[in-house]
Structure 1
Amino acid sequence: MDKSVIDQSVDRLGNLITSRPLMIVLVFLAITAVFATGLGTIESEEGTDEFTEGVPAQAAQDEVDERFGDTFETDEPSTQLIQRGQGVLTPTGLERSLAAQAQLDGDPELEVTGTSSVAGAVAQTIEPNAATPEQQRDVIASTPDQEVRATTRELLAAEPGLRELVSDDYNAASGEASATITVVTYAEDVDEGAAQERAERATAAAGGEFVVFSGGLIDEEFANVIEDSLAIVVPAVVFLILVFLIVAYRDPIDLLLGLGALAMTVIWTFGFTGLVGIPFSEMMIAVPPLLLAIGVDFGIHAVNRYREERVTGQGVTEGMDAATDQLLVAFFIVAGTTVIGFGANVASDLGPIREFGIVASIGVVFTFLVFGLFMPAAKVLLDRLREGTRIPDFGTSPLGSDGSLLGRVLPQGAVIGNRAPVAVLLVALVVTAGAGAMATSVDTTFDDDDFLPPEELPEYVTAAPGPLAPSEYTFTETVNYLDDNFESGEEDEVTVYVEGPMESDAALESIYRAGQNPPPTVVDDGGEAEAESLITVIEAYAADDDEFARLVERNDRTGSGVPDRNLDEIYDELEASPFADRADQYLTDDRRGTQVVYSVESGALESDIRSDVESIADDYRFQATPTGQIVIFQGISDLIFDSAITSLILALSLTAVFLMIIYRVLEGYATLGLANMVPIAVTVAMLVGTMPLLGIPFNAMTATVLSITIGVGVAYSVHVTHRFIDEFNTGKDGFESLMTTLQGTGGALAGSMLTTLGGAVSLTLALIPILGQFGILMSISVFYSFLLSVIVLPPTLLLWERYVVEGGVLG
């Protein structure tokens, strides 16, 4: 395709806009009605589970769960009743605990299968026949207080497992503690959300200070946080954008037209996602502000460029023809680069990031269509209707016009760049290198906490009125309380899933040898890794049964205590023993798979744990895959980092190629595309260098910001470059072209920068921490992109003129 074909296409579209505006408006309204039907079909998908799909460690964990079941936990849903207050271990406190248990035990819909509590243990010690919580409560009530207190102290001293249910501040002498936990389990088919609700009612009826904690709580809060964040972010975005648009448009009719076009963009985008079945996750909350920011940018440029023509005396048709001749090409270039930037996230191995990239990219295409065709057509239609009426003209002067503050300040980038272009670029190079060095210290994280509100909600959230008031969030606070006040009684653990013929002679010996001299993060038990495996079951049975011990000894050729021949016979004996159930947790039915659960040092870096466990797995004779939550989350963190780097490289390279091709076709100079990329490269480096200064890591959301920065930031340099070359082609020199560009287009850039900042800043109000961090980075990114497009790009274009145009270098 050559330039003449593009010019002809743009001319046809411009003529269509000015000759058939009503038809275009009606077609777009009809399409909007179709997409609006998809809004009601949008499904939400919250939480961290969707990030684990496709992660090898998660696939191994799924295999472990399917073939062995959960080794250390029951599949039954459970609820923890956290009772707080200095009197929790008094007879009265124990009665309250049992009263809550009795309420739940008597609920036929919950099908309680068991309870574990200090109160129940004390009651059964006093009266072993007290089987139900109601009976146990009667025992406590009828027993003298002194005996109850003495029994409680004796049990907690003798039973370490029971002691784990009491807070760390337990005083053995006085028998007092500030909190205790009761665990209630239910049948497998009980809904955890319903159990959470009933447990809250039961504890309220029992009196005392209780906090109810269950899996249903986190699911509920994951769901609520999306709705509550949207309820905060969307009004804030609308308000901020409205304020900026009032300043930018200064005309109520143009303002309403701009808002209508923005609403159309959002309806098209999310109606599309509903129709094709893409779920709405926490990450999707960032899409509306991004699209609104891009739409505002397009809208301000469209109106501003049109006004530039009208103030020279051009009519509606001539003014819009001149505006669309330039803007349709500029919008196409901006949309293309933005789609590349957003779409680069499709290369991620994480499903939610891919979906985010798809939806954002589709939204940009819709934004281009709405603001490239619908808004100019609607503007023509409205201005023609306004002609000959008494409707007054309001603000009609363009932003950055002669005499305005922007018109005086923005061209200074051209003035400075004209005086010392090489010096400006050398400073930019030094800043880029320094920022790049800082970027090497950026962390990468992934955790449930990233998607849940902080322990203390900001005042602007808690003070929100009526329908804007958020749900109650207690998960983070409760988890922090448990971490601070209770010892888990369990060390952190990771699992190695082993696949191979477990009856071969070396199978168990391989497990044994892999655990010798463990690396630093794996708990060392006398030179061996502390682990639970098929070997520990064999050892336990051998210690309990002399005949089996002799069988093991006869088949241990190395003297390690681990049998290394006739393993089929060992397994047969084990499966016929009282230890058969434990053996089933570590050996598959076909005897071709096993799991080894290693204890790791609490507080060690997850990256170090994963590396150390992988080194152990490498020593296995058979295929061995590390898994467990620590390994899975660290695997996701690695994928997040890989996603950020891959998306950045794709976005940079594809954007550069796209711009070089476009400018080669349009202007005959591919090097203009490279000039466009100079401020973007500096922006990305400065942005990543800023992250460690602010303590913001790469996470599921911020990992997308680098490629998005290219997509959003390149718009500023494209608008400057495109207007510059248009002015340059009229016969002006480079400096004059830049002065005109920065006065006209620069004003529109400043207006769109402010509105984009409003959309990005609004994300900091979201309840989800990673969205707030994303909003901060997007705000910085937008500001850097604007600043460098008016400071670094002008000297770049002047040097381009000097060496490419005047110097005859191949363009």
Structure 2
Amino acid sequence: MLRKVAGIIVRYRVAFALIALFLMVVSVYGIGQLRFESDLSTMLPEGTPAIADYNILQNEFQSGDSTIIAVKIDSIEPGGVYDIRDPEVIEAVYELEQRLRQREYVTDTVSIADVYMQVLGRLPRSEEEAKFVLDMLPPEQRYSLVSRDYTMTMIVVTISREKKTETLVRVYQGIQEDMKSVKFPKNVEVIQTGNIGITYRILELLQSDLNKTMAISFILVIALLLYFYRSPVKAIIPLIPLIFGVTMTLGFMGLAGIPLDLATTTIGAMIIGMGIDYGIHITNRYYEERRNGRDIEDAAAEAVAETGKALLGAALTTIAGFAAMYLSSLPMLHHLATALILGLSLAALNAIVITPAVVILEEDVVKKLKGHYVRPEVRSGSGFIGELFHSLGRTIKAKPRAILGAVLLVTLLFAYGVTQVTTEVRLEKFVPEGMPEIEALLDIRGEFGGQDEIYVLVKADDVRDPAVMRAMYIFEKQVKADSYYNGVFSSESPADTVYREYGYIPNDREKIRAALGEYQGVQTVSNDYSMALIKFTGDFGGASMDDFRRIMRYFEEETKMAQSTEFPPGTELTVTGDLYLNYVLDQITSVEINRISTYGTVFVVLIVLLLFRRPKVSLAMITPMFLGALWTVGFMGLAGIPFTQSLAGVISMIVGLGVDYGMHLTHRFLEEMNEGNPRPIVTAVGSVGPGILAGALTTAGGFLALLAGELPTIHDFGLTLAFGIFASMTAAYFVTPALLQIFYGKKVGGGSE
């Protein structure tokens, strides 16, 4: 069947190439429709309770999103200011605040200038006056506004916006415009950080990383192809169908509305790395058949037919590994699975359809130029590399059990690394260290005790109930009393508003209503009085993920305890906010890693068993897959690479990719054994091994191109996948032939030790 299809493809190669060209044009239009996505809430499953509470936070209280503008003395040049209490600095801060408040998406701002307006009714006229007012404040309040060395202050801006990328860009750029329009004194640096600033920076890096990693991936692949094929023209042959596949993938993503996010931004470099494998195997087999004396059309048909069997199996198992990501509840992984399956399918299809047309065209052109066909030679199948793989085949044939023993020792090392693996989901960890936004955020945490925000949503029949209000006040005090443990620096709630008005929480509901009605600050009570908001500010990110989880668990446990002990029956307390969404994502990611990896492995094993229906053959094929995945996770633990939401599906991906190498070796072994070759393992390793090496190097090269990206998660993604490819390839070179030799060595007359 496949041989007939191969004949049709070769016979009508020009027509198929024209169809592909038409789809290429349509895809170019689709690329223009691609959009970037960096909103954390879109990464969580629909229906998650935390999302519902987060939406309430956004819609009812216009809260939950903020940006911080750090104002600091960054130099000591003559003619500039040296103290943040300088009236010129305070005046510039006040002017910037007024400009920000005119923005429709800004709901509140807090800065040092507000203190002077409240105390003096105006801004200070001299530095002595500015110092005097600040010195009147309690130390806790004073140092929440300025650093202890008086070189830094900040403006906290509360934002209400639609959770759309376009809106985020508009908000960030609008605030940047206001910052530039205000003239700060010499020596003063102004930096926008916090959720808005960091998210915008991630979005910006996503766009630049996509273009950069794709370009570098192409350069690496071209360099490797030039080395292996010795000719620029022959190197282009497997590259042309790849270009078609990558362009179609990005175009169809744009047409289908699949966004580019922290995971799918890698798709370009990944498809380049993985897709080139298909073109290389078909091209290598074509050249092998031509060297064996076949004419061009027979060689092309044989290459498509014989290599197509292994490619079909490899594509199906790879797709099965990727398809396991659909079982995840994370939308990000659904998008990545769709993009990868689409990309690999198109890369494989283009390799099978376009490669025969291109390779035959190249030979025809050479014949017209030189008057005769030129026998093709490639470096991967001859010289040092060719002899190296034939020697490897002979060694494995002679000592298969010794080879397996050495592999076992390596596996034990990586098994230890598996125990060291961690997870990471904090937003700030996705931005490179040393960036101004991150440095400013670290300075703010160090000087002001942190400006992370956690919200507790209180739901009741009427939050103006004195019992509810009193319980809120007590709950706040209890949480703040544990600040050494939970990192809380300050808090705000409607109970504070009432307490400031009367000095106590009255039992009269009308008094409470009056106090809340007169309050002019950030909204902390819903319009129907069925919900109230308690806002805690502090350093909740923690020095490590363990600290972060501990603090988030503290808030969960305290709200549950307070709900059952302090608050009246029927009152409900839940934790929410951007930071809490990170914690929820962490919990989901931990579960998804195990689920996706398990199902991906099961899917791949089932497809291998269905395709080959021979337990021994299947075992030889899939063992490198298991080892490649195990070694990869061990490498992550030893190298300190954590699992993130974008890396949650990496094991399933390695499983899908890793089985390909064992499949190519096994398929060639069976082909040689069925034809009566007395040394099928030597021939299989010697002939297919160089092609696997070329494919693995180009695939890993595509993944390693991700190291050129600036986002740490992109680095980790590329490095992990590249290692996984080399691990799977190495395991396939040693384990698959060794097992086949043990299982079938005596049958073909070779025997084992």
The TM-score by the shorter chain falls in which range? 0.7 to 0.9
Q: Give 1:364's aligned residue.
A: 344
- Please list, as runs of the form range in 1=range in 2, the aligned pairs for 1:518-667 lying within 5 A after superposition: 523=483, 543-544=503-504, 548=506, 552=507, 571=509, 574-577=512-515, 593=531, 603=542, 605-619=547-561, 620-621=563-564, 624-664=573-613
Specify the code of the residue in structure 2 equivalent to 1:61: Y
Q: Does 1:18 align with 2:10?
A: yes
Question: In the alignment, what sits opposite 2:30?
Answer: 38
Q: Contact 1:167–1:180 at 8 Å: present in 2 too?
A: yes
Structure 1 counterpart of 2:671: 726
Shift in alpha-carbon separation, 1:588–1:105, aligned structure 2, 3 A:
closer
Shift of the alpha carbon at 1:499? 4.8
The one-letter amino acid paired with 2:340 is A
In the alignment, structure 1 residue 311 sits paired with structure 2 residue 291: yes
* Alignment partner of 1:765 out of 708, 728, 739: 708
Counterpart in 1 of 2:567? none
Give, in whole Å, the separation in 1 of the partners of 2:448 and 2:490.
Answer: 23
How far residue 424 of structure 1 moved from its aligned partner, in angstroms, is 3.5
Give the deviation of 1:513 after TM superposition. 13
TM-aligned CA deviation for residue 391 of structure 1: 7.0
Q: 2-side partners of 1:746 and 1:478: how far apart?
A: 52
Structure 1 position 13, deviation (Å): 1.3
Matches within 5 A, 1:133-212: 136=123, 140=125, 148-149=127-128, 151-159=130-138, 160-168=140-148, 170=149, 177-182=150-155, 191-204=170-183, 206-212=185-191
Q: 2-side partners of 1:721 and 1:34: how far apart?
A: 39
Does the CA contact (< 8 Å) of 2:227 and 2:379 recur in 1? no
SS at match of 1:626: strand
Q: Describe the superposition over 1:219-250 as per-residue Cα deviations: whole angstroms up to 9, x where unpaired.
A: 54233212322342222112111110111222
TM-score (norm 2): 0.84
Residue 213 of structure 1 corresponds to which residue in structure 2? 192
The CA distance in 2 between the partners of 1:66 and 1:183, in whole Å, is 20
- How far apart are 1:511 and its partner, in Å? 6.1
Q: Is the Cα–Cα contact under 8 Å of residues 453 and 538 in structure 2 kept in the other structure?
A: yes
Alpha-carbon distance, 1:354 to partner: 1.4
Greater alpha carbon shift after TM alignment, 700-709 vs 107-116: 107-116
- 2:370 is aligned to 390
Contact 2:454–2:580 (CA<8 Å) still a contact in 1?
yes
C-alpha distance 195-80 of structure 1, shift in aligned 2 (>3 A): farther
Tell me if 1:706 matches 2:661: no
1:162-561 paired onto structure 2 within 5 Å: 162-168=142-148, 170=149, 177-182=150-155, 191-204=170-183, 206-213=185-192, 217-390=197-370, 396-401=376-381, 404-429=383-408, 431-455=410-434, 474-488=436-450, 494-497=454-457, 499=459, 508=468, 523=483, 543-544=503-504, 548=506, 552=507
Q: Distance in 1 between matches of 2:460 and 2:686?
A: 72
Change (3 A) 1:284 1:524: closer
Rounded to whole Å, the distance in 2 between the matches of 1:534 and 1:351 is: 36
Percent identity over paired residues: 21
Contact 1:575 1:583 in 2 (8 A): no
Q: Contact 1:663–1:673 (CA<8 Å) still a contact in 2? A: yes
- Separation of aligned partners in 2, 1:373 and 1:479: 53
- SS of 1:445's equivalent? coil
More deviation in 295-304 or 652-661? 295-304
Contact 1:18–1:380 under 8 Å retained in 2: no
Verify the 8 A CA contact 1:421 1:799 in the aligned structure 2. yes
* CA–CA separation in structure 1 for the residues paired with 2:59 and 2:413: 50
Q: Pick one of 680, 688, 692 that aligns with 1:737.
A: 680
In the TM superposition, residue 496 of structure 1 has moved relative to its aligned partner by 4.2
* Structure 1 unmatched ranges of 5 or more: 1-7, 131-135, 171-176, 456-472, 553-569, 807-811
Offset at residue 18 of structure 1 (A): 2.5
| Distance of 1:797 and 1:726 partners within structure 2 | 13
Does residue 61 of structure 1 match 2:41? no
Q: Which amino acid aligns with 1:655?
A: V
Inter-partner Cα distance in structure 2 for 1:804 and 1:700: 48
Root-mean-square deviation (CA), in Å? 4.1
**Residue 655 to residue 151, structure 1, CA distance change in 2 (3 Å):** closer
1:188 shift after superposition: 8.3
Quote the residue 1:676 is aligned against.
621
Q: Which amino acid aligns with 1:660?
A: L
- Find 2:40's aligned residue among 32, 48, 51: 48
What runs of 5+ residues in structure 2 fail to find an aligned partner? 565-569
In structure 2, how many angstroms separate the alpha carbons of the residues matched to 1:233 and 1:317? 37
CA contact (8 A) 2:665 2:685 kept: yes
When residues 586 and 739 of structure 1 are mapped into structure 2, their CA distance, relative to the original with a 3 A threshold, is: same
Q: Give TM-score, length-normalised by structure 1.
A: 0.79
Cα offset, 1:37, TM superposition: 2.0
CA apart distance, 1:39: 1.4
- The structure that has the greater radius of gyration is 1
* CA distance in structure 2 between the aligned counterparts of 1:377 and 1:209, rounded to whole angstroms: 64
CA distance in 2, matches of 1:363, 1:440: 33
Which residue identity does 1:611 align to in structure 2? R
Q: Would the alpha carbon gap of residues 218 and 783 (structure 1) be closer, same or farther in structure 2, given more than 3 Å must change?
A: same
Matched residue of 2:191: which SS?
A: strand
Distance, in Å, in 2 between the alignment partners of 1:780 and 1:487 is 40
Alpha-carbon displacement from aligned partner over 1:524-576 (angstroms, at most 9, x marks no partner): 89xx999866776776677447xx3xxx4xxxxxxxxxxxxxxxxx5455324
Cα distance in 2, alignment partners of residues 600 and 77 from structure 1: 15
